[in-house]
Structure 1
């Protein structure tokens, strides 16, 4: 028999903490975005130096906390402006995985050390994969389609007026809450069930297995889930609290969140199947590599 009261309490606790952090972090990020030099970042992305362009693409993915509905149009804008393909792909990987408010929540839930390792690993590995896909000629897997695009910088100069910036930041935060709330609620609900319902013996059994094969298995399970990080974080937190090891937890987290279902569906309109498969496979590699890294650091 499930303990409905305990599940409800855990659910409310997760939702309350996550929403409070979400509001605070989202407002801060939105406020600071007005001072991000997007024009310079765009110039760096178009640099003839591959490393400079790749780093700029990774940075753009970090400083733009967009949902898929904004990520894909911006991706198309970059392709239309002839931004190097490897830079575009690097941005595509870092955009969902290095969302600033996700990084803030991760620091609160898992601590600074885990968050720093996750950020650096994802940042570097995304650039490597972007470079590799470019070298292997995946650019020709982009369809010739015309979709409404989005600009990198829109009216950021006027927003540097303090009062206007505060008002706009509050407005953007409320909009983000409306878009993310369903995913947080789902994640908190699943997390509460995991913590209160899954027998400890099951997680202990998994923990006692050789994590060198548990990690890729966790990544394989995670990738087809196509769950947003805002949903995966409370689920992963509940797994950790219940005794599940950090290494396979991170593999599951990254694998499940690296390619959300809405994003993959939208990408099908501009990418051919070969590039879609390469994208999903790359997410699996990032998830597995990160899991092994955490395992080595734990040892």
Structure 2
């Protein structure tokens, strides 16, 4: 028992450190470069007359900003502050941690081109559908007052002209953001450490012997609370496949683990009301489950 407690504490310290370092770095970088990004043009593109084009833009933005599930939040906050259409922002929230060009190349090398294509198309389309559904059902009303105040265009112009001013403002905004989410990050890291160290490894072996049609949603449920980056999950998934764990539930576990995490959910709770947080969890679960079934059908 003391050994398990030690492992949990060590995992908590490691996870907390990695999360905070990553979150600080991403937050500062986004705060710094946002002064140079023409958000007015981006808003016009995403908020044009064609909502499908705006939704597609959100999916593409997630593809070119491959963050882990926690690191998507700083840019999501910026998008909400800048009045980027809710549909596009939500689509970005789902695609960013799941679609990474480098990871897709690695996936093609490990699992083959067919698996990679199915994964890419499934996550891309499901993310757009979820973004559309959340917007269509007025989930935008479930967004709380956003953590960081959006900068005015005049402030952006001043920061563009003075790099020292931009550095100072970026540091200030990063500190404010970290203060507002620090408790949530630590709580989520502690819960994540408990789950990682307490779940018995032979549990997955037992699951692999069962019928895949009910194993797939179970794998998605297991994956959702875990804090797993795709780059971390890839060798884990490979090890599962080598040990005889089926492909379909493995991919459901991968999508569930990379698409959401307890630290992310706890941080999202600081900007979303319970109804939207719940919808996010259900959406990731459904995406992971249906994608798993898609892999099963193609495998059959």
Are the equivalent residues in 2 in contact too, given 1:73–1:147 (CA < 8 A)?
no
**Deviations 1:77-128 (CA, angstroms, capped at 9, x unpaired):** 2112222111110000001011222222222221111111100000000010
CA distance, structure 1, for counterparts of residue 80 and residue 106 of structure 2: 31
SS in structure 1 at match of 2:67 = coil
TM normalised by structure 1 equals 0.66
Task: Output aligned runs, 1:277-292, within 5 Å.
Answer: 277-292=278-293
1:126-137 matched pairs, under 5 angstroms: 126-137=127-138
Aligned to 1:233: 234
Distance 1:142 1:232, change over 3 A: same
Contact 1:73 1:148 in 2 (8 A): no
| Counterpart Cα distance in 2 of 1:95 and 1:270 | 18
Counterpart position of 1:159 = none
Aligned to 1:107: 108
Q: Does the aligned pair in 2 maintain the 1:226–1:261 contact within 8 Å?
A: yes
Contact 1:41–1:60 (CA under 8 A) maintained in structure 2: no
Residue 41 of structure 1: how far off its partner (Å): 5.5
Matches within 5 A, 1:53-68: 53-67=54-68
Q: What residue in structure 1 maps to residue 182 of structure 2? A: none
Structure 2: distance between partners of 1:263 and 1:144: 18
Determine if contact 1:86/1:130 at 8 Å carries over to the other structure: yes
Q: In 2, Cα distance between the equivalents of 1:227 and 1:75?
A: 19
CA distance in 1, matches of 2:244, 2:290: 22
**What SS does the corresponding residue of 1:96 show, helix, strand or coil?**
coil
Once the two structures are superposed, the pairs formed by residues 85-234 of structure 1 within 5 Å of their partners are 85-147=86-148, 203=205, 206-234=207-235
Q: How many angstroms does 1:75 deviate by?
A: 1.1
Structure 1 residues 113, 57: CA separation in 2 closer, same or farther (over 3 Å shift)? same
| 8 A Cα contact 2:43 2:83, kept in partner | no
Distance 1:268 1:94 in 2: 19
- Contact residue 223 and residue 284 of structure 1 kept, 8 A: yes
Aligned residues of 2:249 and 2:292 also touching (Cα < 8 A): yes
Q: For residues 145-192 of structure 1, give each alpha carbon's deviation from its aligned partner in whole angstroms, at most 9, with x where no partner exists.
A: 341669xxx9xxxxxxxxxxxxxxxxxxxxxxxxxxxxxxxxxxx9xx
Whether the 8 Å contact between 1:226 and 1:258 is mirrored in structure 2 is no
Unaligned runs of 5+ in 1: 1-36, 155-189
Structure 2 CA distance for aligned equivalents of residues 223 and 83 of structure 1: 27
Matched, 1:50 2:51: yes
User: Cα distance 1:141–1:210, how it changes in 2: closer, same or farther (>3 A)?
Assistant: same
- Classify 1:210/1:52 alpha carbon distance in 2 versus 1 (closer, same or farther; 3 Å): same
* CA contact 1:228–1:260 (8 Å) conserved in 2: no
> Following the alignment from structure 2 to structure 1, what is the Cα–Cα distance between the partners of residues 144 and 133?
19
Q: State the TM-score, normalizing by the size of structure 2.
A: 0.66
How far apart, in 2, do the equivalents of 1:283 and 1:101 lie? 22
Post-superposition offset of 1:240: 0.5
Partners of 1:209 and 1:117 in 2: how far apart?
24
Give structure 2 stretches of 5+ with no counterpart.
Answer: 1-36, 157-195
CA 1:143–1:246 in 2, change beyond 3 Å: closer, same or farther?
same
What RMSD over aligned residues (CA atoms) do the two structures have, in Å?
2.8
State whether residues 227 and 261 of structure 1, in contact with CA within 8 Å, keep that contact through their aligned partners in structure 2.
Answer: no
Distance 1:217 1:261 in 2: 17
Q: CA deviation at 1:52?
A: 0.3
In the alignment, which residue of structure 2 is the partner of 1:258? Answer: 259
